[in-house]
Chains A and B, each alone.
Chain A
Amino acid sequence: MSDVGINSTIGEQEARFGDFFALLKPRVMSLVVFTALVGLLAAPVPVHPLIGFAAILFIAIGGGASGALNMWWDADIDAIMRRTRRRPIPAGKVAPADAMALGVALAVLSVTMLALATNLAAGAMLAFTIFFYVVIYSMWLKRATPQNIVIGGAAGAFPPVIGWLAATGTMAVEPWLMFALIFMWTPPHFWALCLFMRSDYDDAGVPMLTVTHGRPATRAHILVYTVLLAALAIGAGFTGIGGPVYLIVSLVLNAAFLAGALRIWRRDEVLAEADNYAVEKRFFRLSLLYLFAHFGAILVEALLRQWGLGGWG
């Protein structure tokens, strides 16, 4: 065997810097960064810009660590699903042990640094969030119950609470309203994805609602959760995080979201397959705009409040 032969084999498997970055789920991280930033800026305590930047950075790194540990644990099912089979571990670019080491190292680093840069409460909440996502959701619930998304979705809802804690060091009702918004938004968002990713979860044996209760039941669940979400989102408009701007944004988006959920509920698989799940895909895209616009409106209200405007008083 020649040296060139050995090097070629190793070269194909050698991970790039970008492969390690992909382990951190950058797209999920953008949601974490934005919602944590809103939590931090909506808090009634001014934060030094550098401390605020560090807080958001370490919350994002904590989210990334959760992503890496989730990819390490779920590498077997990621290799089966179309949506995930190009991830660094199933693609053979990063060794599972390396992904786990990166996840653990970043988790420890992010929690320690957040606690040092801001306060212990924020660090502890970040540690709990990582634990919740990796152990409660990934290791336990995801493969055990069709309610995996409902309970596990809480992990993605913690960032605004951590952002608020980083700024204030104390708890209040407002960050939990933001938490509730993401918590109620996650099931319809994810179930819409499950509907048009068709056989992915079936093949992987993950007990998604589409697999255990069927597609009509999933469509009904999307509608029920969307109604509950709309009530919560519009109701939040009259609380401390809301105001006229938020309420207008929320009314428009919830009307569109409810209309989308109704359309999904009325359809069956024959109709959905005929247009390649166009309604479900549109609903999924709208769900992304829905969350970003709601948190954007909360941010606008918080910024207006600094000028004596915003809110209801």
Chain B
Amino acid sequence: MSGIVWIIAVVAVVGLYVWYVAIVKRKNRVAEALSGIDVQLSQRHELIPNVLAIAKRYLAHEQTLLADIARLRTTGQERLGSSDPKAIAEKFAAENQLGVGLGRLFAVAEGYPELKSDALMVKAQATYQEVETNVAAARRFYNASVTALRNACQIFPGQLVAGLAGVGQMPPFFEAPVEHRGAVNAADHL
């Protein structure tokens, strides 16, 4: 009888340890994904001064928008590298606002033929497209990692070992701005 108890105890301990390892791995994956986001966001931040410098020459009536973008960039830059869930959530919100602001800027630029055809602006727009694609990719990697971590922590016996693995408050998801969401329709391009 006592042999069976021992076997059950050993299996339980091994099971908990395996679960603990899985949580630690997933936690590290989230950290890796978060740093991936920061890399892409800093590329976005590096692009902004150039875009603003070109836009200022043509968009005299859009100074408020340009000032907003510059402010949001500063806010976003200050929060790069933060690991506290609350600070991360604030960073994501600020970056989403920045993304929307940049989107608006390029939309406004469409109404200014000279700005739209400016060689530097064309190049900046192409780079922006690439950077935004990479930001979206980093966001998807991060969200997938957060989902995996949440699953491991919230499914029994995850709750028992999450604290031991150093996972307290769950990291937030990085939701895409509403303006960037939409259904994919392959048929449109086939």
- A joins B in a complex: no
